[in-house]
Chain A
């Protein structure tokens, strides 16, 4: 039902306490960004499991964005650092899938950084545009 020309598809996993709220703030301040992003709410970036990221990529998402609190600000102490470790490892193995590391991105964006959120999405979108479609996506084009 989505129109095909909506550009890169990004699945975003955003922490409740910071980036999800930052994304809300981007809306409240009416900052425009590309329409291809879909946001999934997590309580903490530390809840991000690599299988969620892999699942999104294998399902054809062009990119996966994970948003957490700045180091030291995690509501649950160190969830964001756990996420950072996990995502760093994941990015190392992405190549074996034939995917660019840059398709997975972890960013610290606080609840007050709506502008940074919008800017991040815009930039990521144009990076993904130049990377081209996720090769796995074609497998679903019937």
Chain B
């Protein structure tokens, strides 16, 4: 027979005012297993805690019920006190007789007292079947894997590496930088970003704690928080950079010409190319997709580059390789892609040459870019005198495109239109908008200045159509503020395309076991309280992979993520709560329903025994599998069905 002690707190008059504590103690003493009961004015005070400790020691109690405020207040306090005198903390439970009894039944002392005793009884029946437990210790590998080397990945990696942790960056392109590398100046201060980015990129490459895997992707992720094993597949670049002298002969000889994605199709490049085309220092790489050597029809052909290379640095026979890394945490920083202009035929997207997307316009603004920083229309290289910027191209249109707002477009459009007007003094800039979202510091002022100083013409409404009429390019829209239909002649149309998650995100999240929303953006564990944690412990989020945002917000989030991981790494091991699921191996039939049910992938089938096991480090103790198991083979430790049935018995009967 267990020896349980019951301690009833008055909480001053908070409890004692509406619950008769004498009667509560008398009632408790009548319950099976109770060998000690007393009340005190403030159980959580030092003398109160001492009473509990003394009773545990003197009466050799093996279970304790403290009837007091909500367990959310003082469960820890009392469990610590119990632990200090040798009683396993998990053998103490709280009966919530303040928030859920005395405070809500102030005027009916007999009923409130009876209820308090019944709550004590239920708690007692639970605790008398509790098991003593120890916290679970999990090994912690203090290394981090960052997936995606955009500004989010770069900033998170640098912060963690500066803190002394080894970081690996996995970037699928042949260079890091992401979309920020394509941007010239930024809102709201017209600040050059390329120099800052170059500096950060150099820091990454020189950092003793950072290893960068370029042209690489995650092939598989195994393990769990603190103990991940990531398999990385690296595609060859077919140019041996150890021997390449960057003479450029291969670039001249390659017969392939494809639109250059870095310049958003404003220029063309060969199958062998420099990734940052305008940077002479960059060494060439070969893109397998475009190279004649690898394509149907011309397979094993061409090879002109290999023929001209004086250093024999071209190796078209190179194959992809894999590598394994052990890490304790993962950062998902895969960023975004732009919605395809081909999805917007009504705007001539992908068809009319003088309809470009905003990133192409961004390339024109780059002094080192394809036009040397001049805004020129693609069809004839003339300076456009009338430019129509179309915001929300593909955003905020739940019927046909994306329902969400892409968040950065209002501001970069204002930036681009202002830069255009600064460059082309006699030009006219029209901006078609739905609302102007300028909700950060100096954003509103930035937009206002554009209207006042650069005379940007903001037209509220949605463009219906962009079409060619003879030599003319026309934009049909309506000014919803005046109610007039408008037809604008344009020399150039710029589409502020929606941002969408980076291609391949659905495959990737399956490997990483994290969740995405309906649009494919990564979802956080809790939007308010755990904004940079993913649904899987140890996997974190940063940047546009989570939702569209500007560089400021991207970097803030990346640094928050780095901070969170450093907090995790501040300990030598991880500690997990033992209140998790457990499998009764003699009952489990191996049906696997729990494996489907567990939102964390904490359940795995043991291949030898055919029984589902719980990964203690991953289980969060939600109980979903317990409710789902058709055989009642899983239980939550210390909240077993047997225990709950006892409590239900106590609580269900009126008398």
Given contacts A30-B103, A40-B122, A44-B623, 20 further A-B contacts (CB under 8 A): A2-B118, A2-B655, A3-B655, A11-B652, A23-B100, A27-B70, A27-B101, A38-B115, A38-B650, A39-B100, A43-B623, A44-B622, A47-B624, A47-B626, A48-B627, A51-B641, A59-B649, A60-B653, A61-B653, A76-B620
Q: How far is the CA of A61 from the CA of B649 in the complex (A)?
A: 9
Q: Once bound together, how far apart are the Cα atoms of A60 and B644, in whole Å? A: 16
> Interface code B543-587, partner A: CB below 8 Å = 1, 0 otherwise?
000000000000000000000000000000000000100000000
Query: What are the interface flags for A38-77 relative to B under an 8 Å C-beta threshold, 1 for contact and 0 otherwise?
Result: 1111111011110110011101111000000000000111
A-chain residues with CB within 8 Å of residue B115 when the two chains form the complex: 2, 6, 35, 38
Residues 1-30 of chain A, each 1 if its beta carbon lies under 8 Å from chain B, else 0: 111101001010000000001011111101
Which one of A6, A31, A86 lies within 8 Å of B104 (CB-CB)? A31
Q: What chain A residues lie within 8 Å of B623 (beta carbons)?
A: 42-44, 46-47, 79
Smallest CB-CB separation from A17: which chain B residue? Answer: B526
Closest residue of chain A to B523 (Cβ to Cβ) is: A77
Query: Is B386 on the interface with A (CB-CB < 8 A)?
Result: no
- Leading 7 A-B pairs by shortest Cβ distance: A47-B623, A27-B99, A59-B652, A38-B651, A76-B622, A27-B103, A61-B652
Given contact pairs A30-B104, A43-B622, A46-B623, A56 touches B114 in the complex (Cβ within 8 A): no
A32 touches B106 (CB 8 A): yes
CB distance from B69 to the nearest CB of A (A): 9
* B622: A residues at CB distance < 8 A: 43-44, 46-47, 75-76, 79
In the bound assembly, the distance between CA atoms of A25 and B535 in angstroms comes to 28
25 contacts across the A-B interface (CB closer than 8 A): A1-B118, A3-B110, A3-B114, A4-B655, A9-B652, A25-B99, A31-B104, A32-B105, A32-B107, A35-B108, A38-B118, A38-B119, A40-B122, A40-B644, A42-B639, A46-B627, A47-B624, A52-B645, A55-B648, A55-B649, A60-B652, A76-B620, A76-B624, A79-B622, A137-B654
Contact with A along B637-648 (1 / 0, CB 8 A): 001010011011
Instruction: Quote the shortest CB–CB distance from B389 to chain A (angstroms).
Output: 35
Q: Does B270 contact A (CB under 8 A)?
A: no
Task: Encode B235-270 as 1/0 by CB contact (under 8 A) with A.
Answer: 000000000000000000000000000000000000
Q: Give Cα distance in the complex from A47 to B452, angstroms.
A: 60
Complex Cα–Cα for A40 and B123 (A):
9
Q: Which residue of the partner chain, among B627, B647, B655, contacts A40 with CB atoms under 8 Å?
A: B647
In the complex, A103 Cα to B647 Cα: how many Å?
A: 19
Q: Which residues of B contact A (CB under 8 A)?
A: 27, 70-72, 96, 98-101, 103-108, 110-112, 114-115, 117-119, 122, 515, 526, 535, 579, 597, 599-600, 620-624, 626-628, 636, 639, 641, 644-645, 647-655
Q: How far is the CA of A76 from the CA of B598 in the complex (A)?
A: 9
> B101: which A residues are within 8 A, CB to CB?
27
Nearest opposing residue in chain B for A44, CB measure = B622
Alpha-carbon separation in the docked complex, A12 to B624 (Å): 18
Contacts of B621 in A (CB 8 A): 43
CB pair A4 B654 closer than 8 Å: yes
Distance in angstroms between the alpha carbons of A42 and B71 in the assembled complex: 13
Given contacts A4-B654, A4-B655, A9-B653, contact A28 B106 (CB under 8 A): no
Q: Give Cα A11–Cα B597 distance, bound, in whole angstroms.
A: 26
The CA of A94 and the CA of B535, in the complex, are separated in Å by: 35
B117 engages A1 (CB within 8 Å): yes
Task: Report how far A89 CA is from B455 CA in the complex, Å.
Answer: 63
Q: Give chain A residues whose Cβ lies under 8 Å from the Cβ of B118.
A: 1-2, 38
Please determine whether A49 and B114 come into contact, CB atoms closer than 8 angstroms.
no
By beta carbon, the residue of chain B nearest A34 is B105
- A101-134 contacts to B (CB < 8 Å): 118
Q: In the bound complex, what is the Cα–Cα distance between A119 and B644 (angstroms)? A: 26
Q: Which one, B70, B111, B641, contacts A6 given CB within 8 A?
A: B111
Q: Which residues of A contact B653 (CB under 8 A)?
A: 9, 59-61, 137, 140
CB-CB under 8 A from A75, the residues of chain B are 526, 622
Pick the contact of A11 from B96, B105, B620, B648 — CB < 8 Å? B648
Inter-subunit contact B104/A77 (CB<8 Å): no
Q: Determine the residue in chain A with the shortest Cβ distance to B517.
A: A72
Pair B119/A77 contact, Cβ less than 8 Å:
no
Q: A1-B117, A31-B104, A46-B627 are in contact. Are A6 and B654 (CB under 8 A)?
A: yes
CB contacts (< 8 Å) of A46 on chain B: these are 622-624, 627
Given the interface contacts A40-B647, A77-B515, does A3 sit within 8 Å of B111 by beta carbon? Answer: yes
Known contacts A1-B117, A9-B653, A27-B99; is A35 also within 8 Å of B105 by CB?
yes
Cα–Cα distance between A82 and B628 once the two chains are bound (Å): 9
Q: Are A82 and B597 also in contact (CB < 8 A) when A35-B111, A44-B622, A49-B626 are?
A: yes
B residues within 8 A CB of A40? 122, 644, 647-648, 651
Contact B114 A77 (CB under 8 A): no
**A19 to chain B: closest CB distance in Å?**
11
When the two chains form their complex, are residues A82 and B624 in contact, meaning their CB atoms are under 8 A apart?
yes
Give the docked Cα–Cα distance between A38 and B526 (Å): 29
Contacts of B654 in A (CB 8 A): 2, 4, 6, 9, 36, 60, 62, 137
Q: For A51, what are the chain B residues with a Cβ–Cβ distance below 8 Å? A: 641
When chains A and B are docked, how far (Å) is the Cα of A95 from the Cα of B308? 85
The CA-CA distance from A24 to B647 in the complex, in Å, is 20
Tell me the bound Cα distance from A42 to B27 in angstroms.
26
List A contacts of B107 (CB < 8 A): 32
The distance in angstroms between the C-alpha atoms of A59 and B649, with both chains bound, is 7
**Closest CB of chain A to B120's CB: distance in Å?**
11
Contact status B99-A47, CB under 8 Å: no
Contacts of A2 in B (CB 8 A): 114-115, 118, 654-655
Least Cβ–Cβ distance between B587 and chain A, in angstroms = 15
Residues of chain B lying within 8 A (CB to CB) of residue A61: 648, 651-653
Name the A residues within 8 Å of B119 (CB-CB).
38
Residues on A with beta carbons closer than 8 Å to the beta carbon of B96: 24, 39
